[in-house]
């Protein structure tokens, strides 16, 4: 059985730790992409119960999922299809992130008095109004607000997390954007720039609200700090029951292409997790797997549905649990270990875990 065990108590503790680090700023917990693979609805309930002020999602479908589950906490959605039905979302109390003038006009014309949060680009070059458009963007929003078409609840942006100088420069640019918004007559309730990294390391970026993303799930956004060093606990453990065990001769080829051949007579354990479940193929022959307290490496290529582990002469049986990653304090590999083995980041390791993997929740 493939299983991702999600520790909701660990998530709650992480949010409490990060709220303290926010030094009085309100918190928005990001539950986009199925809460980074952890399950949007259970995670949303857990973080609201410990005082998260807002929930953040990428798109309106994710917002509707929360509302369909009966979650009535404030929600911001910011990445929109050009044909998005803003009116339906506004009617359900979803704040609309608006990034450019034409989008603003569409939201203002949707027939409902939308609460919007205006995004400005301070250097990431993704969503958000460009500096040359700030004056018109804010003036138009203010005119719509005076006419009763919208309420400008927030102004926000996103850091690049490049380095301290770049992040502080973005914070200064964001302050200029806020000044331009004020000149246009806007007085937003919410002002936010910092995500996890900014919350922890860029005091100038905290403003009145911070967005808590990967840290909520107990993973560090930094290459130079572990989860434990930040006081966080990884919340997901990915495991599966061993499906097959066989003894093979020295020189046996393993998996496609025979990239791995057994150096001696040995035992191979088959683990039913593959790239269809989100296991990175780049981790072939590198990804760590813990079985009965011992950590091994994948033998050969990651296949669509399975991986093979060479356990040598260890006693391993069908039904034993193979743990790919979890809390390293428990003696198992971490999502960071898998990120290193896959030449990627821990965000991708947890977020890509697919729907064939059953989620089991610990309260």
Q: Positive or negative CA dihedral for 104, 186, 72, 22?
A: positive
Helical H segments across 115-206, by residue range: 134-146, 164-183, 196-201
- The CA distances from residue 68 to 44, 73, 95, 294, in Å, are 13, 12, 16, 43
Look at strands 26-30 and 54-57 and give their pairing.
Answer: parallel
Residue 202 neighbours by CB distance under 10 Å: 20
**Beta pairing partners, 312:** 267
Residue 349 neighbours by CB distance under 10 Å: 30
DSSP 7: E
Active site residue 246: no
Angle between helices 8-21 and 40-49 (to 10 degrees): 50
254 within 8 A of 260, measured Cβ to Cβ: yes
Rounded Cα gap, residues 104 and 116, in angstroms: 9
Task: Give exposure, 93-118, as e/b (b: 16+ Cβ within 10 Å).
Answer: ebbbbbbbeebbebbbebeeebbbbb
Query: Which residue is catalytic, options 32, 36, 217, 296?
Result: 32
Query: Which residue is catalytic, options 36, 217, 246, 256?
Result: 256
Rounded Cα gap, residues 45 and 221, in angstroms: 23
Active site residue 36: no
Q: Which residues are catalytic?
A: 32, 256
């Amino acid at each position: 059985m493939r299983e991702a065990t999600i520790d909701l108590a660990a998530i709650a503790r992480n949010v409490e730790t990060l709220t303290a680090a926010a030094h009085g700023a309100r918190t928005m917990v990001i539950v986009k992409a199925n809460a980074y693979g952890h399950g949007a609805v259970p995670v949303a309930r857990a973080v609201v119960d410990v005082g998260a002020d807002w929930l953040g999602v990428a798109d309106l479908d994710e917002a509707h999922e929360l509302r369909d589950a009966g979650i009535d906490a404030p929600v911001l959605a910011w990445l929109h299809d050009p044909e998005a039905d803003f009116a339906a979302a506004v009617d359900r109390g979803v704040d609309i992130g608006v990034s450019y003038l034409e989008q603003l006009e569409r939201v203002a014309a949707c027939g409902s008095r939308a609460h919007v949060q205006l995004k400005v680009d301070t250097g990431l070059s993704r969503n958000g109004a460009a500096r040359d458009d700030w004056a018109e963007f804010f003036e138009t929003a203010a005119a719509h607000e005076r006419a009763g078409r919208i309420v400008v609840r927030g102004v926000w942006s996103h850091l690049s997390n490049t380095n301290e100088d770049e992040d502080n420069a973005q914070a200064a640019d964001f302050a200029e954007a806020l000044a331009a918004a004020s000149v246009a007559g806007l007085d937003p309730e919410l002002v936010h720039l910092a995500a996890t990294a900014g919350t922890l390391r860029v005091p100038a970026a905290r403003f009145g609200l911070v967005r808590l993303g990967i840290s909520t799930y107990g993973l560090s956004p930094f290459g130079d700090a572990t989860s434990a060093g930040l006081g966080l606990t990884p919340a997901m453990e990915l495991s599966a029951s061993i499906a097959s065990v066989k003894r093979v001769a020295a020189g046996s080829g393993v998996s496609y292409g025979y990239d791995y051949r057994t150096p001696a007579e040995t035992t191979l354990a088959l683990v039913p997790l593959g790239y269809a479940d989100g296991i990175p193929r780049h981790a072939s022959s590198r990804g760590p797997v813990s079985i009965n307290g011992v950590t091994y490496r994948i033998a050969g290529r990651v296949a669509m549905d399975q991986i093979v582990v060479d356990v040598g002469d260890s006693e391993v049986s069908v039904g034993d649990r193979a743990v790919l990653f979890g809390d390293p304090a428990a003696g198992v590999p971490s999502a960071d270990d898998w990120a290193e083995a896959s030449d990627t980041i821990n965000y991708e390791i947890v977020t890509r875990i697919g729907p064939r993997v059953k989620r089991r929740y610990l309260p």
